[in-house]
Amino acid sequence: MPSSFESPTDVDLSHQSEPFRRIATEISNVLVGQSKLVHRMLIGLLTGGHLLIEGVPGLAKTTAVASLAKSIRTDFQRLQFTPDLLPADLIGTQVYRPQDQSFVVQKGPIFSNLILADEINRAPAKVQSALLEAMQERQVTIGGETFPLEEPFLVMATQNPVEQEGTYALPEAQTDRFLLKVIVDYPDRDEELQILRRMSKTAPKLNVTPVTTPQEIMLARSQVDSIHIDPKIEGYIVDLVMATRRPAAYGLALDGLIQFGASPRASISLALAAKANAFLNGRGYVLPEDVQELALDVMRHRVAITYEAEAEERTSESIVADILRGVSVP
């Protein structure tokens, strides 16, 4: 029986999404478990949306991003963020050439397709601001000259939630630029046993073969744009976001717990992520389940809670979960 959300011209997209299944297979040759993280990275690739990946050390966050990059025939840069990092170390600078008495632009490592910003919260505000322009505008300004960044351009940033000494909290303006905030958890017992057997060697062999190209990714992005999203689901997305700003209007007892709700960028991000999820599932249309699966990752970093909420041991995640349960599904 066809879905009521299906487009009259819907087509099976299983063949078009095949390159992304190949990417997931290649990553699984290195990474044990973490299927949610891999899925979210594919969502980022498909939408051009940046990812903030949070988890304690040792959970293979860096390995996951590096494996993703190796599975694509593209440029990759890992940037280890430290307190003494300068904006020029990231975007580049002008270098004086005495032989012809002129300045030439020396581009920094940001000029790559995939960027791993490792421990992004260890960088000072100036460096974070330099990264902000690249993330949002897809361009970098050096010495008054603007340089576009080559697509696909994707920043995947990691941060450690435990060790806060020597770190700089990301400002709300920057966290809002991330399409998703993914929380990486510990593996279960069977996964940890598999990790032990695979990695407890002096030189473990971790081979990832490139299985797709930037051109295939850009083609897939154009197909994601054509995914059908029913007006009722669009209304559902807007209701979820509006409920973070005016929860009482949706019958939610969250008064005094939300300092400020999600911005309109959350609505855009949730619609894009839902369409990408439908594409990965081989569908040409979005279901409410696509929205529900990604709503927490889209909104957990966009909802700021009050001191009262903290006193009640509430988190932005638990508040978004209440909203998901309270807003009626079409």
The per-residue DSSP string of 201-214 comes to: SSS--------B-H
Domains of the chain, by residue range, sit at: 18-196, 227-326
Q: Among the residues of the chain, which ranges form H helices?
A: 18-28, 35-47, 61-70, 87-91, 125-137, 172-175, 189-199, 214-225, 231-243, 264-280, 288-299, 307-311, 316-326
Q: Is 83 buried (19+), middle (13-18) or exposed (0-12) by CB count in 10 A?
A: exposed
Are the beta carbons of 317 and 297 closer than 8 angstroms? no
Q: Would you say domain 18-196 falls under CATH 3.30.1330.60? A: no
Task: Say what the pLDDT of residue 290 is.
Answer: 95
Query: And the tokens for 83?
Result: 């307190």
Task: Say what the pLDDT of residue 163 is.
Answer: 59
Higher-confidence residue of 4 and 143: namely: 143
Query: And the tokens for 100?
Result: 């012809």
Percentage of the chain exceeding pLDDT 70: 94
Which distant-in-sequence residues (6+ apart) come within 8 Å of 268 by Cβ?
Answer: none
**In the predicted structure, residue 2 carries a pLDDT above the cut 60:** no
**In the predicted structure, residue 169 carries a pLDDT above the cut 80:** no
Task: Say what the pLDDT of residue 10 is.
Answer: 58
In this structure, the strands spanning 139-142 and 145-148 are antiparallel
Q: Model confidence over 154-163: pLDDT tens digits?
A: 898 888 776 5
Angle at 199 between CA 197 and CA 205, to 5 degrees: 115
Task: Say what the pLDDT of residue 17 is.
Answer: 83
Higher-confidence residue of 160 and 85: namely: 85
Work out the pLDDT band at 185, boundaries 50, 70, 90: confident
DSSP 275: H
Task: Say what the pLDDT of residue 40 is.
Answer: 93
**In the predicted structure, residue 236 carries a pLDDT above the cut 90:** yes
Rounded distance between C-alpha atoms, residue 245 and residue 103, angstroms = 50
Work out the pLDDT band at 64, boundaries 50, 70, 90: confident
Residue 329 vs residues 119, 134, 231, 232: alpha-carbon distances, Å = 37, 36, 13, 9
Query: And the tokens for 61?
Result: 């966050």
The superfamily in CATH containing domain 227-326 is Magnesium chelatase subunit I, C-Terminal domain (1.10.8.80)
Rounded distance between C-alpha atoms, residue 36 and residue 17, angstroms = 17
Higher-confidence residue of 123 and 245: namely: 245
pTM for this prediction: 0.87
Average pLDDT score, the chain:
85
Q: Which amino acid is at 25?
A: T
- The two most distant CA atoms of the chain are separated, in Å, by 74
Query: And the tokens for 31?
Result: 């990474």
Are the beta carbons of 105 and 145 closer than 8 angstroms? yes
Task: Say what the pLDDT of residue 1 is.
Answer: 38
Are the beta carbons of 178 and 41 closer than 8 angstroms? no
Please state the rounded mean pLDDT for residues 200-216: 80
